[in-house]
A and B are shown apart, each in its own frame.
Chain A
Amino acid sequence: MPSPGKPMTETVSAAVFSHPRWRFWPGMLIALSFLVLVLAGLVSLLQAAGSLDPSNVLGNRYLRGVVTFTVWQALLSVLMSLGLALPIALALARHSRFPGRSALLRLMELSLVLPTIVAVSGIIVVYGRQGWFTSAVSAWLPDHGWNLYGLNGILLAHVFFNAPLAARILLQALESVPEPRLRIAAQLGLQSVWLWRAVQWPALKPVLPGVIALVFTLCFTSFAIIMTLGGGPSATTLEVAIYQSLRFEMDFSQAAILALIQLAICASLWWLAFRCRADTGLLPTSARTPHLQVPGWPGQTLINGALVGLFSAFLLAPLVATTARGLPALFSPEGLAAIQNQLLPATGRSLLIAVPAGLGSVVIALLTLAAARQSEGRWHSGLPVVTGYLPLIIPPLVLGTGLFILLRPSPGTPSEGWVLVSLINSLMAVPFVLQVLRGPFLSVDAHTLRQADQLGILGWHRWRWIFWPLLRRPMALGLAYGITLSMGDFGVIAIFGSPGQPTLPVLLYQQLGSYRVESAAGTALWLLALLLIIFAGLSGLTRPKGVFRTIQRRSPYA
């Protein structure tokens, strides 16, 4: 795997980065340094804690309840998110050309990166006690008993955040089904169950464990959603308990133990996911021909249409609510002044942190995948990818605090702080970028690579002619995830403390903390629009042009 930007070390005749070690060491070094970073963070926290008494935590009824509830709600969220994501992905794979499809895909990408407070507020406007949905249901069914607050709300919000992400990844897997297999399926007239067993399941199987682990982890570490919609302390997750012990009780030892419990649960799940995946072969690849008819069952189009329509409404409603709330604020005289004085400068600062973070996360993800592939079959093959997922399961507060202890006593200048924030943000985005890039990256099969080796297509050329055409679109999506995740981040920047000039999320929280509810609604809308523009822009930029486009984008299910 080439790492552009590094000095050329090979002889002039060979392409840059031709030596196989370039495919291995950069990714491996990143993985190792991140592992060291995490361990150092944890160890310094444990050291600061002094004594460690696990029985204190394990013997505590409250904390046991927290662990049980955390696992329980995460399991339910996974079930519901995937239960929705699967039919949506199948429907979208089957119907690859309908108006609004690409807008729906952008929408699906967006939901994950929405800052929690924006999404939750939108969800409340729709499903809350006074919400649109609730009023509509009440008109028809006066005794419906729907109540957002409690497990209902937690699951609803988790499905809102995670089902689109899962559907997006599953769709990508379905779209990478090799053409010969589809052709045979079409010729045999395979339908429903048989199509599922012969084509769809084999395509989904390799990505499914990863998706399950990803969604589980995201729900497991969920925090503000659970507290706002959970109703009370009986809905408390481990992450809340960690926050509590770190921020309020200054109990490093308890925080460290809870973090280790979280680490153990999530890591064992990921370990299982990797074991499952190890059994499945890599997806081969080949060019696809346009238009392959796979017959459906009667009424399928209708049902799929209704399903996709409802799903779109589900994703869109909270965003419409955010827009409806923010528009008047943004287009008032005061709002227009705010755009110039606060929003634009804050956007600049946010981009300054988010763009490098996004680029960093894509580069790290690519190097990680390359290193994993290069070391395939050896004991250390899992290492790069495993460390790629660590950011998901390490509570950011624990990592941040650990790093802080590690780095002291140098507080650094604000700009150093921002570089650090950017770096941590890019690491935090790596797991998502990895999910997006893994499939396409692995779709370059061993056979092609052997041929490339024989032909001497190495280093830069190998990257430019073999990987780039396949990866440009996923990379754009990965980059969009990286940038927008960093853009909406509030946690990391809050740990390290911001200088006087706020980024967009910090501005939003400042407004909220000062009763500026109207302005905050305007800022939320601004942030939402910006995230949308980033997704749409990056996806538009990398769309293949001309004839090529019709060939590549037409799904074989159509």
Chain B
Amino acid sequence: MRFPAFAGFLLAALPAVGAAQPSAVLNVYTHPSFAAEWGPGPAVKQAFEDQCDCIVNYTVLESGGDILQRLRLEGEGTGADVVLGLDTGTMETARQTGLLGQHERNLDNLNLPIEWTDEVFVPYDWGYFAFVYDTEQLPEPPTSFEALLNAPDDLKIIIQDPRTSTPGLGLLLWMHSVYGDQAGAKWRQLEDHILATTQSWSDGYYSLFMNGEAPMILSYSTSPAYHMAIDKTDRYQAVAFEEGHYLQVEVAALVKTSDKPELARRFLDFMLTPAFQQHIPLKNVMYPAIDLGDNLPPVFERLITPEKVLYMDPAEVAAKRRSLVDEWLNALTR
């Protein structure tokens, strides 16, 4: 039995995995799609390190909700300087932890469909929730919620669970914004069209949509940009709904207890420069938070533009979320 010796050797080799790091380290909590090798994370890290004389260190958590969760658990002892990857659905809960500081930045050059005056959160990208459809399976998709609800029963869609997924919650807010008190009844009407309600967007996209199980999936209006620019295919398109589309804004904030607040603020400033924002369109597949002018990839010109932007104030979302989830549950689990 040489097992323990071998295990000891492996354990001893572990510290070699974490590389040695210089003095000023900016700790950023973020989620996988940002930090992935092909996400904006690595290029952004490089660009910021070139000008800050510091090291950017990402801690990658499963989702925006997990970033918030981690922050809450660590409390004032948190090692994070910046959190990046919260969104308008989780923002208010994050604010209520009291762990985030005011950004004190000038946000004049923001380019969002809504006016942004928040003193804690700085937006870095945005997008609309939309149904993406497979043009080969479904040449003529329904162009409104009403049309979807009244479509023949064999038109199936894939959605995500609002209890576990950001787009899932987005659909809940979308339906609420469109139908208000009628939303519960409309959910019951939609039920026949729902093939699957997956835990995460990834499960639905990979396991179901890309396997051709249903021709429509709840996603983002920007999703086709990736398929058109990177996969070089026009097969997957988003459909514009007449009732309008719900807006998601992704945000970052600095942590109050950080011992490098200047560095953290410099990072937030850097976030709204082209050096950062140019990586957003195709690497995060969202709209950049500032006007990139000619640097916006041409495929973005071909995306749908909603006639009406639906948006609920984050405080309202936080106040209503639980009752909306309950309404959804009651509608679908009679």
Contacts and interface: CB of A to CB of B under 8 A. Distances in A.
A227 B197 contact: yes
Contact of A234 (B6, B59, B77, B333): B333
Nearest to A414: B18
B69 A121 contact: no
25 contacts: A4-B1, A4-B4, A62-B333, A129-B156, A129-B214, A149-B196, A223-B199, A230-B196, A231-B194, A231-B197, A232-B332, A232-B333, A352-B17, A363-B4, A404-B73, A410-B77, A413-B15, A418-B14, A499-B18, A499-B59, A502-B32, A506-B32, A509-B62, A513-B36, A514-B285
Interface in A385-433: 401, 404-405, 408-411, 413-415, 418-419
A94 to B, nearest CB: 35
A499 B60 contact: yes
B278 interface: no
A426 B39 CA distance: 32
Interface of A: 4-5, 62, 65, 117, 120-121, 124-125, 128-130, 149, 223-224, 227-234, 236, 240, 243-244, 246-250, 341-342, 349, 352, 355-356, 359-360, 362-363, 401, 404-405, 408-411, 413-415, 418-419, 494, 497-502, 506, 509-517, 520
A517 B332 contact: no
B307 interface: no
Of A4, A121, A233, A355, most buried by chain B (CB within 10 Å of CB) is: A233
Contacts of B107: none
B116 interface: no
Contact of B7 (A249, A355, A409): A355
Interface majority SS on A: helix, strand, loop or mixed? helix
A236 B163 CA distance: 11
Contact of B77 (A408, A498, A501): A408
Of A223, A227, A408, most buried by chain B (CB within 10 Å of CB) is: A227
Contacts of A514: 33, 36, 38-39, 283, 285
Interface majority SS on B: helix, strand, loop or mixed? helix
> Which size bracket describes the interface of B in this complex?
35 or more
A130 B283 CA distance: 31
Given A4-B4, A247-B65, A231 B17 contact: no
Nearest to B16: A415
A359 B69 contact: no
B211 A125 contact: yes
When A and B form their complex, which 4 residue pairs have the shortest distance between CB atoms, in order from nearest?
A: A409-B77, A5-B4, A512-B202, A510-B36
A225 to B, nearest CB: 10
A360 B78 contact: no
A248 B65 contact: yes
B212 interface: yes
Given A124-B207, A494-B61, 18 more contacts: A62-B330, A120-B207, A128-B213, A232-B194, A232-B332, A233-B197, A234-B333, A240-B164, A250-B72, A359-B7, A405-B73, A410-B77, A498-B59, A499-B58, A502-B36, A514-B36, A514-B39, A515-B223
Contacts of A501: 17
B227 interface: yes
B17 A228 contact: no
A223 B163 CA distance: 13
Given A124-B208, A511-B36, A224 B329 contact: no
